[in-house]
């Protein structure tokens, strides 16, 4: 879960934003609510938030200066600014800090959802790049297996097992990181540098499923989790699990769960 701070000197706005929707939907958890920048800066030293949603107009230290101070200690933290005014000077400051978004007050749920989805997607991609780097380093450090002629066919088969397991693990990691996107199985195979048929053969030999079926199952299980939230909307859940077409999502969900998304959701009311 990505740790999120909400910083706003107005307590009603602060609590209202915290309860606006299920942050877990975007892989986030609210790690702190703060009434001023100094409190947030102090907490950030130990909590180290991934995302900070902050008002711009605050007493003593405004949101832009707060963002600058925060970035000096946490250069990777993602910022979303909120403001009651469409103020060019503040907007320019936000751009200078490479903020992910600038949301106008009163906060519209859809606008904030879009901003949070954008930052979660950016963090997911950064996480995936780090996984790719670690996987590459593991490959580089691993000694080359002996050839079959040197150690026999049994040893050769044994040496293939870790390779197959790494491929399967990598594909599962890609699905976990990118299921929200409209990623194709061809693109997944490309990310492990294999043809689709070869990647499918390896994946099915270890899991019993083709990559497409695993991706669909993963998305549907995630959709079920999201639909259990009382304020979830079916069209939003569809987009959050990688489906741009609500009707197609509903057809796939019914095939997987045996009921429609609305029927499934009603069961948890």
3-state secondary structure 177-232: HHCCCCCCHHHHHHHCCCCHHHHHHHHHHHHCCCHHHHHHHHHHHHHHHHHCCCCC
Least confident of 52-66, 116-130, 157-171, 228-242: 157-171
Return all residues near 205 (Cβ < 8 A) that are at least 6 apart. 164
Least confident of 17-21, 27-31, 152-156, 227-231: 152-156
**pLDDT tens sequence across 169-228:** 889 989 998 999 989 999 999 888 888 888 899 999 999 999 999 999 999 999 999 999
Q: Is the pTM of this model over 0.85?
A: no
Least confident of 89-93, 127-131, 135-139, 149-153: 149-153
Domains and CATH numbers, the chain: 2-117 (3.40.50.2300), 143-269 (1.10.10.60)
| Predicted confidence (pLDDT) at residue 32 exceeds the cutoff of 90 | yes
Q: What is the pLDDT of residue 31?
A: 97
Return all residues near 53 (Cβ < 8 A) that are at least 6 apart. 4, 5, 6, 7, 17, 80, 82
Q: What is the pLDDT of residue 49?
A: 97
Residues 214 and 179: their CA atoms lie apart, in Å, by 11
Rg from Cα positions in the chain = 23
**pLDDT tens sequence across 239-249:** 999 999 999 99
Q: What is the pLDDT of residue 73?
A: 94
Residues 228 and 125: their CA atoms lie apart, in Å, by 27
Return all residues near 4 (Cβ < 8 A) that are at least 6 apart. 23, 28, 29, 30, 31, 49, 50, 51, 52, 53
């Amino acid at each position: 879960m990505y740790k999120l701070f909400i910083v706003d000197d107005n307590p009603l706005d602060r609590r209202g934003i915290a309860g606006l929707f299920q942050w877990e939907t975007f892989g986030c958890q609210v790690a702190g609510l703060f009434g001023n920048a100094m409190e947030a800066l102090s907490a950030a030293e130990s909590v180290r938030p991934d995302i900070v949603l902050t008002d711009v107009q605050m007493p003593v230290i405004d949101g832009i200066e707060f963002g600058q101070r925060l970035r000096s200690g946490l250069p990777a933290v993602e910022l979303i600014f909120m403001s009651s005014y469409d103020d060019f000077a503040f907007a320019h400051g936000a751009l200078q800090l490479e903020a992910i978004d600038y949301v106008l007050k009163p906060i519209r749920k859809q606008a904030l959802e879009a901003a949070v989805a954008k930052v979660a997607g950016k963090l997911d991609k950064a996480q995936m790049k780090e996984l790719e780097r670690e996987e590459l380093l593991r490959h580089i450090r691993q000694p080359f297996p002996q050839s079959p002629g040197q150690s026999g066919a049994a040893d050769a088969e044994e040496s293939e097992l870790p390779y197959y397991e790494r491929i399967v693990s990598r594909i599962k990691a890609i699905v976990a990181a990118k299921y929200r996107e409209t990623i194709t199985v061809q693109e997944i195979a490309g990310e492990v540098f294999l043809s689709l048929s070869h990647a499918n053969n390896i994946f099915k030999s270890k899991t019993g499923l083709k990559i497409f079926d695993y991706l669909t199952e993963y998305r549907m299980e995630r959709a079920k989790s999201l639909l259990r939230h009382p304020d979830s909307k079916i069209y939003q859940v569809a987009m959050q699990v990688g489906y741009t077409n609500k009707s197609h999502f509903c057809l796939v969900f019914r095939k997987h769960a045996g009921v429609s998304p609305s029927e499934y959701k009603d069961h948890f009311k």
